[in-house]
Copies of this chain bind each other. A is one copy, B any other.
Amino acid sequence: MSAIDARCRDGAPLLEDARHPELLAEVHGEWSIVESSPRSLARVFVLGDFQAALDLVNAIGAVAEEQNHHPDLALTGYRNVTVTLSTHDAGGLTMNDFVLAKAVDALAG
């Protein structure tokens, strides 16, 4: 089992940059690393309509609460959901962000 299939853990350390490529390969190809402050991991979903987009926001919200790791969620343009993951306490990307990305992928089918 890969570390990405575990649960989010409190106090996860910042990942070394060299780990990013292998972890990106374990999540959906539409995730990308954003050089924001702090650095983040983002994916955009285009749904059928507003209600479908809201349903995805809620499904992600439930997983976020369950894992105690909370992404930024933006519902824009009626049917698009942008998920942005980062670990503020660590100042960038930790394993928790990739764990949650994979959990989000599972929700989106």
A residues at B contact (CB < 8 Å) = 50-51, 54, 57-58, 61, 64-65, 70, 72-78
Q: Is the CB of A73 within 8 A of B70?
A: no
**Shortest Cβ gap from A13 to chain B (Å):** 20
**Shortest Cβ gap from A99 to chain B (Å):** 17
Output the residue of A65, A72, A73 with the most chain B CB within 10 A: A73
Q: Is the CB of A75 within 8 A of B73?
A: yes
**Shortest Cβ gap from A67 to chain B (Å):** 11
Q: Is the CB of B65 within 8 A of A70?
A: no
Q: Which residue of chain B is the closest to A78 with respect to CB atoms?
A: B70
Q: Which residue of chain B is the closest to A54 with respect to CB atoms?
A: B61
**Shortest Cβ gap from A18 to chain B (Å):** 29
Given contacts A72-B74, A72-B76, whether A54 and B58 have CB atoms under 8 Å apart is yes
A-B contacts, 24 listed (Cβ < 8 Å):
A50-B61, A50-B64, A50-B65, A50-B70, A51-B61, A51-B65, A54-B57, A54-B58, A54-B61, A57-B57, A57-B73, A57-B75, A58-B58, A61-B75, A70-B78, A72-B74, A72-B75, A72-B76, A72-B77, A73-B74, A73-B76, A74-B74, A74-B75, A74-B76
